[in-house]
Structure 1
């Protein structure tokens, strides 16, 4: 007899990836309800079935990153389509054995409604919040980042919802302590970011004579602005081997003026200009990440993964939609000495890379900060076992008709 499915609700590219990797560890059918975008990570799972409508947002899932992002999303039908997704999730969970939320407070609200309506166990995987975002924030910082208030710390309603979940998993040990002090029996079982870091996909055939500089433009639209700056910075560093981990199609490559792109294959291309040649790799993030000695990144999860490998990351803010000034500032608090944010200038980036490579003590401090703040992999098998146990135990008693 086929076991009942579990429903995954997630709201973001990284969240979808974590959910899909987690779903792949389960021995039961999978339903998915991605609240932002196509949910491509779930689509790649054999037999996974999508529940509900697709919400395509101009902001890429960051409506509160700026007023422009919010206005664009509202014009795209954010409110009406989002409410429709709540209904879709409730209906889609009617035959499920459990609901798994991978995401923020909003996703948890949707999952809580669906779980209560269908009397199902609820597991919350919170890969976004970290108590480390509060390091040195203070009152002034809080006022500067009012649009990220719920991203910097769990708000009272999120804590209330989390207390009612059957299991809560958080991204680091500091956040476990923060939640537990507020009555949420949260657990840190390992880093979600490191769990979804892929193994090396191919041999890159690199020379051992020069350090490798990984360029991480990210999966969001920031790459259109950040890749040209990164390439020009790499051209100022002839002592390194620069590699771009490119997650898009070749048609999406934006080059600096005077540069050209030669596509070698579906997975390899070469950008040349200013007396430099930089190799771009598709479907090779795991290989590039593990080859890197240092990185320049305008990415969320990828920056964290490189830091988690002990690789120092240099970053700069873009006009968005993701890696804005506020986002860069917040990631700096998350990663500490593992991340250095400088101005969006090729010369400034090159100078920071050269300094880190030449100062062994500073580089070692950055590596240690990344390893300790991000933490090791290992969470997803623990969470998968918890889900199986809850799904087999049956429907829980509803504590109250109110959320």
Structure 2
């Protein structure tokens, strides 16, 4: 049974599940998405070998109540405590029925896995020691992490040291080393985030265009606010060649509001699509094209020269492909300045933070006009994200343990 507590964690779990199914299709797999609907699992469920189980929690903060007090208050008003209790009761009951747990995320799924009494694997996705070990910032949290030598907290690595915890995997080797200093046998066999991204060649249709990938996030209404801000900034970019902006949306349900924003900003629909490229709609304003597709990120990501991104996991994946990004933080609850700052440090500055529309436009212009800097920054980011193949390595560890157990 996989436990995952967020959209990014769902994506990572999905990659590992698919790899595990390829290695051993006889393993029965189920998933409990602790936050949201777990839409990313729909295809695997439809294929018939994955089951979605248990109660999910739908939170106003989108699972980011730890980012702000207001987000926490809204989540509590929406029944956070009762939802967590229902999930805990279900997980405990499943453990008594003999399920082994794979916890993907941070403290919450780790705590639930430990408290269930079952054997468990932990894949710690959000934390990296790069966030405090690089850069000049010296906040109280940085000092605290330096004293510990790891971003993980004492109660977390205490849970990781349990005899029932059969594997601890983290996103990079520097973070694994920090945990090993606290007697946690952590491994970093590769980053599952980088698996499943198709490196398709750029279609001839866009060979003469400069190309951006716009990532506005998946949590509404924040995603709409991000989209409008980023698109306003993009219109300030000075460019001699026509500019194509690829907008991969997670859900067609976002389309109506996105269209209203485009109309409000003076864009006109061309009433055409390019089905073989996954482009559902094309909008135009002067020499600026907005190309909309649904669930096309993995296909389109490699086509971008620069990312304009207020997102979490997708931004990291884009950087992992060697594509530098620029963000324009908003009020959140997810993508606020603190989140953006942490992300930028994690990725070695491969995501630059802009503080205004004009600053974003100037930064994108610089990246588009300097091939050397664009590639150098992209290379630094891709090194931080790590190698492909992590999903297979982790699935192999899990499969080996299951076969030994039986």
Compute the TM-score of the two structures, normalised by the length of structure 1.
0.87
Alignment match, 2:402: 391
Q: Shift of residue 233 of structure 1?
A: 3.1
Q: Shift of residue 177 of structure 1?
A: 1.2
Alignment match, 2:171: 171
Alignment match, 1:293: 305
How far apart, in 1, do the equivalents of 2:95 and 2:58 lie? 22
How far apart, in 2, do the equivalents of 1:267 and 1:125 lie? 34
How far apart, in 2, do the equivalents of 1:323 and 1:260 lie? 29
Q: Shift of residue 138 of structure 1?
A: 5.5
Alignment of 1:9 with 2:14, yes or no, is: no
CA RMSD across the alignment: 2.6
Check 1:260–1:24 CA distance in 2 against 1; reply closer, same or farther (3 A cut): same
Alignment match, 1:334: 346
Alignment of 1:105 with 2:107, yes or no, is: yes
Q: Shift of residue 325 of structure 1?
A: 0.9
1:252 to 254, 257, 281: 257
Alignment match, 1:209: 208
How far apart, in 2, do the equivalents of 1:141 and 1:208 lie? 48
How far apart, in 2, do the equivalents of 1:273 and 1:211 lie? 15
Alignment match, 1:31: 30
Check 1:357–1:199 CA distance in 2 against 1; reply closer, same or farther (3 A cut): closer
1:242 to 236, 240, 245: 245
Aligned residues: 379
8 Å contact from structure 1 (residues 179, 186) kept in 2:
yes
How far apart, in 2, do the equivalents of 1:372 and 1:212 lie? 23
> Structure 1: which 5+ runs fail to align?
1-6, 396-403
How far apart, in 2, do the equivalents of 1:145 and 1:167 lie? 26
Question: C-alpha deviations, 1:237-264, integer Å up to 9, x for none?
Answer: 4433222122232123133433345664
Matches within 5 A, 1:91-170: 91-114=93-116, 116=117, 120-134=118-132, 135-136=134-135, 139-140=138-139, 142=141, 153-164=151-162, 165-170=165-170
Q: Shift of residue 348 of structure 1?
A: 2.1
Q: Shift of residue 141 of structure 1?
A: 5.2
Alignment of 1:63 with 2:65, yes or no, is: yes
SS at 2:348 equivalent = helix
How far apart, in 1, do the equivalents of 2:321 and 2:68 lie? 31
SS at 2:70 equivalent = helix
Q: Shift of residue 69 of structure 1?
A: 1.0
How far apart, in 1, do the equivalents of 2:327 and 2:137 lie? 23
SS at 2:161 equivalent = helix
Q: Shift of residue 228 of structure 1?
A: 1.8
Alignment match, 2:188: 188
Q: Shift of residue 309 of structure 1?
A: 0.8
Compute the TM-score of the two structures, normalised by the length of structure 2.
0.86
Check 1:163–1:206 CA distance in 2 against 1; reply closer, same or farther (3 A cut): farther
8 Å contact from structure 1 (residues 51, 88) kept in 2:
no
